[in-house]
Amino acid sequence: MMRNDRICEWARWGRSQHAPRLADRPSLLGYLTEQLGELGATTPPVPVQSVAVSPSRLTDAERRALIDVAGQDRVDCTDAGRAIHSVGKSYRDMLVARGGRLAHVTDAVVYPRGERDVAAILAVAAEHDLAVVPFGGGTSVVGGVEPRAGQHHAVVTFDLKDLDDVRVDATSQLADIGAGAFGPEIEQALSGQGYTLGHMPQSFEFSTFGGWVATRGAGQQSTAYGKIEDIVESVRIATPRGLIATRRVPATATGPSVLQQIVGSEGTLGVITSGSARVRSLPERRRFGAWFLPDWSSAIGFARDLLQTDVRPAVMRLSDPAETRWLLKTGSERRSVVERIGRAYVRRVVRRRGFDPEQICLCILGFEGRADLVRLAHRQARHTANRYRAVGLGASPGRSWERDRFTLPYLRDELMSRCVMVDTLETAATWANVERLYAAVREAIDAAIRTGGTRGAVMAHVSHVYPTGASLYYTFLARQQSGNELPQWQAIKTAATRAILEHGGTLSHHHGVGYEHLPLEAEHGPLATDALRSLKATLDPAALMNPEKLL
Amino acid sequence: MMRNDRICEWARWGRSQHAPRLADRPSLLGYLTEQLGELGATTPPVPVQSVAVSPSRLTDAERRALIDVAGQDRVDCTDAGRAIHSVGKSYRDMLVARGGRLAHVTDAVVYPRGERDVAAILAVAAEHDLAVVPFGGGTSVVGGVEPRAGQHHAVVTFDLKDLDDVRVDATSQLADIGAGAFGPEIEQALSGQGYTLGHMPQSFEFSTFGGWVATRGAGQQSTAYGKIEDIVESVRIATPRGLIATRRVPATATGPSVLQQIVGSEGTLGVITSGSARVRSLPERRRFGAWFLPDWSSAIGFARDLLQTDVRPAVMRLSDPAETRWLLKTGSERRSVVERIGRAYVRRVVRRRGFDPEQICLCILGFEGRADLVRLAHRQARHTANRYRAVGLGASPGRSWERDRFTLPYLRDELMSRCVMVDTLETAATWANVERLYAAVREAIDAAIRTGGTRGAVMAHVSHVYPTGASLYYTFLARQQSGNELPQWQAIKTAATRAILEHGGTLSHHHGVGYEHLPLEAEHGPLATDALRSLKATLDPAALMNPEKLL
């Protein structure tokens, strides 16, 4: 039977052998205890073998029909295979998975070998009235891969891992990439020929090209490379009514963008099978810089100023005072320079510059590309930093960030094992609006945590920056309320969402909508949402595709 | 009665007092005679007063209803007012207008004062079953503003010139711009505050923000500033079912892009009333460079190489050998340096470098922005040019191009007066495909001209460049076949379109679709076209908006 050994293990992030252990990080543990009170005893997740999974609702005829087109070894109806394809990686998913109680379990996992298989299996699904959920790396944090049956009697999940071709058109600097290709596979194939996609979300190791396109993802270097919707130039999607292949051209003026209707469709219109994406030469030079800024307003001003004077760092991370304090207090056992410089240096900065230690913000910049352009951008950043009274910290904080860039999601598993709620959410705003939105959402989360009666913490950073505005990314933590974990979290999420909408943000900057951010009307209004629904009704008239998501 | 004195005069481009005269350009006249044979006698267009215009089909009740909501002086049912709003600026339009025989005449022109007026007048149109054509500057070259009634008994054209607010949000470097604001108004309002939109299409003086957004236009500096779909960040559109205002945020991941469904909708979904657009600081430095390249392949290689090593000129114009010869032969009376250097210099280049004079290509680059970045980009361009054996020509050809950048459309009027067919069309392709597409379309046009039995000329340039590909812009000329002008032109257009589609181009890079590029299925396939139709059916269920265009 087919297995997917590239996706995260059951009920956790990534691979257990790579997971950092909280026990090895006393300063982090100390910080958490200080913020949240004593943590709970370690409670491991229920192993996948012990999860109670309802039997597959497929009839024998349906199973046989799937096997007929997909192949005997490419239809998995085992409990474990079905369970692992039935939850994403949101806090809610993890609660459910760790507890071993899945409300929605897919009825079969099929592994198409290519686009033709996808189309053929879709036809079987249509014939037998089966709902279809496309599955890339399964790292959705908005419920995108949860198998909801909608009006249908069963669900089939398409695991796309074998649609993993990467072909480079070096002349056009385009790569044709299969939907199921994972981040490391893509970069390996490209770097061998001297290229990079430059798209490295935090989920990079365990997420796929198709997933990025389906959710309008952003990599950590999006400030230079663009979000996936800027990187992708054409796309192919198998819908229940047939294939759409958008034209493979650099730009066009032939009506509303068909490409941009498919990007972000989250599996609700069809199965994205591949796309062509802009690649770039591997950077000649990479260079980090980091600064302390006296407060959040200065940090925002600094970022805005840089972007608006045509400095486009690949990485820009601007931590608010709370996140800066977290970074300074929790890094020591990693020998992070942030930590090593932290105590003494911060004290000196505070004394000499008169910074308020409670207000200091850390800013990390990473430049990459042509050596001369990197030099110029770094110099400009230094000049601008001086104007904002920033204190230079050299390259080490950036290197330290880079080393740890993919490990943070592992920490959540450790924290949840110790009965800590931890989740993130993100939005974006124009520069004129970013400070107001920042404060409103932070206060909403903070108030909701306190209303819940627990201690907690909320921190934020800016990590995707534009000449016209920026993203805002929040992390919040609290002691779990035993037996009330989901409502506790939901209350906070609802409060944050309301604040985002009321203050001119967007429901999502790069995680997508799934079902956690519904209803979409709140973002687009009823009429535009209606238009999106009509798009779905046209391409997927039987509403087979990823029911109850997005629309 | 309301008049629009910002749009082009009847049956011609722009303002007659600014029009260059063929008689003043003997070298151009000589070139044309050499290419096409003796030109015809001068035949002026039929004046607007002499155009036979069918009576307005509006009933008195309908007219009164329009006046009730729009105001007495804001509904124009005069013959001249209706005629001038009934033709765009395509070759076909000009044939029709010059001859004074309009097949389609709008039944009234209304001048809404703002978004609320637009909505109210739309409601009247819906109530009385009137088709609606939005009208900005009326410079469509694809039939976009021609008043087709579709299934309705009459047409009302909305002249949007009074929706011309320009408000700058300097913090976010965004400008909120009314759909009816013309190019010069926008730049004037912005430059007063130190900004530019950087969007200057050839129609700049006579076209509007709303028109650019509706057609996915591109300015001549799009290589640095982006096409309008990259510049616009949010948009407001009054549809027959109500207003849609997309969220004013720098980026979002909330499903398919509502913004990019409205951009390019060409008046078929509703009336775009305003949008927010990214503005940039006025450039600190501007600098031109120009080179002769030995042949078209080298020219394409040079452009590709520059773009793929992160050099992003604002202006890049790469003339093919035929256009280069045209430029060298027709510039003398303008004291263009292209001309002055032309004869002697080209001879020297040919002798010293062994260039084939029939293959030489002119490349003009314009850099603008921060002084240090301009310096770096110019230096890199020089280095790259050397690798392609290019011969430097200094700044003057660029300055000469800039001085004449908005005058070329005037020439068409002069040529048509002398019985010359002249038209342009454009497409785009990936770098791997651009030379093949270039040759195929050129040969198709050339063959179609010759099949038509006349002498003619076809030339092309690249003027919008991307890391992954480029636009191709063709100009073709021939003696008109008297009495057969339209079929003569149509045969050429059809041949070019077929070649574009067969060789992987796009029907339009920045002119839009209108009705001249229908059916849209040829570009997108039946399924994606169906999806676009369903979008229209949702927002405009009575099919009032710009019938028979785009979809």
Q: How many CB pairs under 8 A join A and B?
A: 293
Residue B325 and residue B319 in contact, taking contact as beta carbons nearer than 8 Å:
no
Does the beta-carbon distance from B248 to A504 stay under 8 Å?
yes
Q: What is the mean pLDDT of chain B?
A: 95
pLDDT value of residue A408: 87
Residue B506 and residue B427 in contact, taking contact as beta carbons nearer than 8 Å:
yes
Query: Measured on CA atoms in the order B76, B78, B80, B86, is the torsion positive or negative?
Result: positive
Cβ of residue B262 closer than 8 Å to a chain A Cβ: yes
Does the beta-carbon distance from B524 to A280 stay under 8 Å?
no
Residues 54-73 of A with CB under 8 A from B: none
| SS3 of chain A: helix, strand, coil, percent, to 5 | 40, 20, 40
pLDDT in tens, B435-489: 999 999 999 999 999 998 999 999 999 999 999 999 999 999 999 999 999 999 9
Q: Closest approach of chain B CAs to the CA of A61, in angstroms?
A: 31
Residues B244 and B256: their CA atoms lie apart, in Å, by 15
Q: Give B96-139 as a 3 state SS string.
A: HHHHCCCCCCCCEEECCCCHHHHHHHHHHHHHCCCEEEEECCCC
pLDDT-wise least confident of A23-32, A100-109, B334-343, B425-434: B334-343
Residue A110 and residue A158 in contact, taking contact as beta carbons nearer than 8 Å:
yes
Q: Which residues contact A487 (CB under 8 A, 6 or more apart)?
A: none
Asked if the model's pLDDT at residue B332 lies above 60, the reply is: no
Residues 481-500 of B with CB under 8 A from A: none
Tokens coding A180: 């199921």
Place of tokens 């909330």: B254
Helix runs in A152-295, H state only: 183-191, 209-215, 222-225, 228-231, 258-262
pLDDT value of residue A207: 98
Does the beta-carbon distance from A524 to B246 stay under 8 Å?
yes
Nearest CA in chain A to B171: A432
Cβ of residue A245 closer than 8 Å to a chain B Cβ: yes
Determine whether B411 is exposed, middle or buried from the number of CB atoms within 10 Å of its CB (0-12, 13-18, 19+).
Answer: buried
pLDDT in tens, A432-458: 999 999 999 999 999 999 998 999 999
Distance in angstroms between the alpha carbons of the first and the last residue of chain B: 34
* Widest pairwise Cα distance in chain B: 77
pLDDT value of residue A404: 87
Radius of gyration for the alpha carbons in chain A, expressed in angstroms and rounded:
23
Query: Measured on CA atoms in the order B508, A227, A311, A321, is the torsion positive or negative?
Result: positive
Peptide bond into B313 cis (omega under 30): no
Does the beta-carbon distance from A252 to B508 stay under 8 Å?
yes
Residues B535 and B543: their CA atoms lie apart, in Å, by 11
pLDDT in tens, A59-103: 999 999 999 999 999 999 999 999 999 999 999 999 999 999 999
pLDDT in tens, B85-113: 999 999 999 999 999 999 999 999 999 99
Tokens coding B251: 């980026």
Residues A346 and A331: their CA atoms lie apart, in Å, by 14
Residue A161 and residue A112 in contact, taking contact as beta carbons nearer than 8 Å:
no
Considering chain B, what percentage of its residues have pLDDT values greater than 70? 97
pLDDT value of residue B315: 97
Q: Which helix (H) or strand (E) holds B444?
A: helix B431-451
Residues B301 and A304: their CA atoms lie apart, in Å, by 36
CA distances from A545 to A74, A106, A485, A548 (A): 20, 13, 30, 9
C-alpha torsion angle, residues A506, A511, A514, A519 (rounded to 10): -10
Which is nearest to B360 in space by CA: B382, B380, B345, B377? B345
pLDDT-wise least confident of A205-214, A454-463, B344-353: B344-353
Cβ of residue A257 closer than 8 Å to a chain B Cβ: yes
Residue A427 and residue A508 in contact, taking contact as beta carbons nearer than 8 Å:
yes
Tell me A182's DSSP state: B
Cβ of residue A399 closer than 8 Å to a chain B Cβ: no
Residues 34-53 of A with CB under 8 A from B: none
Determine whether B276 is exposed, middle or buried from the number of CB atoms within 10 Å of its CB (0-12, 13-18, 19+).
Answer: buried
Question: What number of CA atoms fall less than 13 Å from residue B206's CA on the CB side?
Answer: 22
Asked if the model's pLDDT at residue A546 lies above 70, the reply is: yes
Cβ of residue B522 closer than 8 Å to a chain A Cβ: no
What is the edge-to-edge ordering of all strands in the sheet holding A131-135? Answer: A75-76, A108-110, A155-159, A131-135
B285-293/B280-281 β-pairing: unpaired
pLDDT in tens, B116-153: 999 999 999 999 999 999 999 999 999 999 999 999 99
Q: How confident is the model at residue B27 (pLDDT cuts 50, 70, 90)?
A: confident
Does the beta-carbon distance from A172 to B217 stay under 8 Å?
no
DSSP three-state, residue B322 = helix
pLDDT value of residue A341: 61
CA distances from A396 to A335, A368, B446 (A): 11, 16, 62
pLDDT in tens, A171-189: 999 999 999 999 999 999 9
Residue A82 and residue A106 in contact, taking contact as beta carbons nearer than 8 Å:
yes
Q: What is the mean pLDDT of chain A?
A: 95
pLDDT value of residue A335: 54
CB atoms within 10 A of CB B55: 10
Residues B364 and B403: their CA atoms lie apart, in Å, by 13
Place of tokens 């009032």: B544
Helix runs in A108-216, H state only: 115-127, 183-191, 209-215
pLDDT value of residue A336: 54
pLDDT value of residue A339: 54
Residue B310: its chain A contacts at CB < 8 A? 369-370, 373
CB atoms within 10 A of CB B68: 12
Tokens coding B36: 């096409």
Q: What is this model's ipTM?
A: 0.96
Q: How confident is the model at residue A343 (pLDDT cuts 50, 70, 90)?
A: low
Does the beta-carbon distance from B215 to A253 stay under 8 Å?
yes
Tell me A476's DSSP state: E
Residues 285-304 of B with CB under 8 A from A: 304
Q: Can you point out the beta strands (E) in B326-464?
A: 361-369, 391-392, 420-430, 456-462
Residues A309 and A314: their CA atoms lie apart, in Å, by 15
| SS3 of chain B: helix, strand, coil, percent, to 5 | 40, 20, 40
Asked if the model's pLDDT at residue A344 lies above 80, the reply is: no
Nearest CA in chain A to B535: A531
CB atoms within 10 A of CB A333: 14
Residue B229: its chain A contacts at CB < 8 A? 257
Residue B172: its chain A contacts at CB < 8 A? 430-433, 468-469
Residue A257 and residue A234 in contact, taking contact as beta carbons nearer than 8 Å:
no
**Residues β-bridged to residue A368:** A286
Radius of gyration for the alpha carbons in chain B, expressed in angstroms and rounded:
23
Residue A415 and residue A478 in contact, taking contact as beta carbons nearer than 8 Å:
no
Residue A294 and residue A359 in contact, taking contact as beta carbons nearer than 8 Å:
yes
DSSP three-state, residue A506 = coil
Q: How confident is the model at residue A340 (pLDDT cuts 50, 70, 90)?
A: low
Identify the residue among A195, A222, A223, A430 best suited for mutation to test binding to B, counting B beta carbons within 10 A and taking the highest.
A430
Residue A146 and residue A88 in contact, taking contact as beta carbons nearer than 8 Å:
yes
Residues 305-364 of B with CB under 8 A from A: 308-310
Tokens coding A45: 């997740």
Asked if the model's pLDDT at residue A342 lies above 90, the reply is: no
Residues 110-169 of B with CB under 8 A from A: 169
Nearest to A310 among B262, B278, B370 (CB): B370
DSSP three-state, residue B422 = strand
Q: How confident is the model at residue B26 (pLDDT cuts 50, 70, 90)?
A: confident
A469-479/A420-430 β-pairing: antiparallel
- Higher-confidence residue of A438 and B327: namely A438
Does the beta-carbon distance from B470 to A551 stay under 8 Å?
no
Q: Which residues contact A484 (CB under 8 A, 6 or more apart)?
A: none
pLDDT value of residue B468: 98
Does the beta-carbon distance from B254 to A524 stay under 8 Å?
yes
pLDDT value of residue B458: 98
Q: How confident is the model at residue A23 (pLDDT cuts 50, 70, 90)?
A: confident
* Span A533-550, average pLDDT: 98
pLDDT value of residue B351: 80
Q: How confident is the model at residue B2 (pLDDT cuts 50, 70, 90)?
A: confident
Which is nearest to A421 in space by CA: A485, A325, A491? A485
Which is nearest to A2 in space by CA: A123, A214, A157, A181? A157
Place of tokens 């790569």: A175
Tell me the pTM: 0.97
Angle at CA A91, nearest 5°, toward A86 and A97?
40
A232-239/A242-245 β-pairing: antiparallel
